[in-house]
Amino acid sequence: MIAQGLVKRGWEVSYISESPPGRRGTRQENGVRLYHLPTPPGDLSFLNYFALWRVMSRIKASVYYQRVVNSYTGLTVGLSDRQGASSVWASSSLIIDCYPNPTQRAWKSRPHHQWGAISRLPAWFTDRIVAYGIRNADQIVAQTQEQKDAIMHEWKREVMVIPNAHPVPPQVAEKTEPPVIVWLGSIMARKRPLMFVDLAGRCSDMSARFVMAGAPTEQALSAELNERARGVPNLSYLGPIPFEETNNLLQGATLLVNTSVGEGFSNTFVQAWLRGVPAVSFVDPDNVIQRNRLGACVTTVEDLVQSVRHLAANPVIIRALGKNCRDYAVRAHGLNRVMDLYDSLFTTLAERASI
């Protein structure tokens, strides 16, 4: 969305990404030139140094923008400097992106340590590359004030906050009966999808439908989810669905449930709020849910069950919260407003790179 928004404002935009085997070369999509990198095994993305160098040498951009922490954080910054270009690193998660050595922590949580310290070398090396990138990027962007504060404390860098954005749908659909309770996200442990399965089971006496969708990223968890979901008659698990289908699903939803341990600023929040759908969530980045009355914040499974029951049974409250959601999301996360911030930032950095 950022890339396509920049194209509409007259920028020439290229997009570089690891891609499935067999997809090579370049292609054009919606005015954006797409470049493909091979997908290295595991945490070995730094092996793409020369592949990335070749692509960036073809593009010769004025500004390079890289999002989330991985080897490309440092590789992009280093190669940008070699070209005399400006670089931006953007955080997408408070827990994962804003503190040192995230790859080492993830690596240590894995069950295979048969090679001892040697097995941790790729993670250690990746974190050194990440640290170089964060310390030397020309600009750092965060999604929330919480992320900004953490980065300033841990890395001693100045940070610009640019919130997530989505196109504003022209209208909000009338909510239908029975209520539809939605969960969206990748099937991974830190998002706790099984908690939503338990929620649906404990609300089986309600006249409500529970729907979840998301791509499996942890196979054992996905298998358990599929097995348990089959035993809950009021729950539908749709598996991975395209982005536009998530918007269609939220358009008719009553509530969005977020069971994650932590988030940066979930895109599903913005998608839901723009469609007048309140959130019931364990996380509340920058306290926006409580401050703007955009749903309910919970701390336990019991809180979750009670909040969903209470809100789903009260359409008047849902309408009031839904109006707050729409007003807030248009004001804070409308795509045009956020693209103004990116346009201004990239213009400044491009001018600096050309001096």
Structure tokens at 157: 């860098």
Cis previous bond, 38, omega within 30 = no
Share of the chain above pLDDT 70, in %: 94
- Is 50 exceeded by the pLDDT of residue 38? yes
Tell me how far CA of residue 277 lies from CA of 20, 143, 154, 206, 234, in angstroms: 35, 21, 35, 19, 20
Given this model, what pLDDT does residue 133 score? 96
Q: Which helix (H) or strand (E) holds 142?
A: strand 139-142
pLDDT in tens, 7-35: 999 999 999 999 877 777 788 999 999 99
Does residue 211 sit in helix, strand or coil?
strand
Per-residue pLDDT reduced to its tens digit, 41-61: 766 889 999 999 999 999 999
Q: Is the pLDDT of residue 344 over 50?
A: yes
Q: What is the mean pLDDT of the chain?
A: 90
Residue indicated by tokens 């080492």: 104
Contact 200, 234 (CB under 8 A): yes
Terminal-to-terminal C-alpha distance of the chain:
29
Tell which wins on pLDDT, 120 or 90.
90
Whole-number pLDDT of residue 117: 52
From 96, 64, 69, 89, select the one nearest 265 (Cα to Cα): 96
- Alpha-carbon distance 329 to 113, whole Å? 45
- pLDDT at residue number 113: 46
pTM summary value: 0.83
Q: What DSSP string describes 261-317?
A: S--SS-HHHHHHHHTT--EEES--GGGHHHHHT-EEE-SSHHHHHHHHHHHHT-HHH
Q: What is the dihedral of CA 225, 245, 11, 8, to 10 degrees?
A: -160
List, for residues 189-229, the tens digit of each pLDDT value: 989 999 999 999 999 999 999 999 999 988 899 999 999 99
For residue 115, the model assigns a pLDDT of 45
What is the per-residue pLDDT for 130? Answer: 92
pLDDT at 107 over 90: no
Provide the pLDDT for residue 119: 58
Measure the CA–CA gap between 324 and 330, rounded to whole angstroms.
10
- What is the per-residue pLDDT for 114? 45
Tokens of 129: 């590359």
Average pLDDT on 235-254 reads 93
Tokens 């290295």 correspond to what residue?
40
Q: Which amino acid is at 78?
A: G
Percentage with pLDDT > 90 across the chain:
73
Residue 67 bridge partners (DSSP) = 90
CA-nearest of 220, 225, 228, 217 to 188 is 217
* pLDDT 10s digits, 120-151: 778 888 889 999 999 999 999 999 999 999 99
Tell me which residue of 179, 87, 174, 177 sits closest to 133, measured CA to CA.
87
The pLDDT of residue 94 is 77
- pLDDT per position as a tens digit, 291-336: 999 999 999 999 999 999 999 999 999 999 999 999 999 999 988 8
Pairing of strands 160-161, 180-184: unpaired
Q: Which pLDDT value is given to residue 125?
A: 86
Q: Given pLDDT bands bounded at 50, 70 and 90, which one contains residue 171?
A: confident
Q: List % helix, strand, coil for the chain (3-state, nearest 5).
A: 50, 15, 35
CA dist., res. 198 & res. 204, Å (int): 10
Mention every residue, 6+ apart, whose C-beta is less than 8 A from residue 251: 169, 172, 173, 275
**pLDDT value at residue 145:** 93
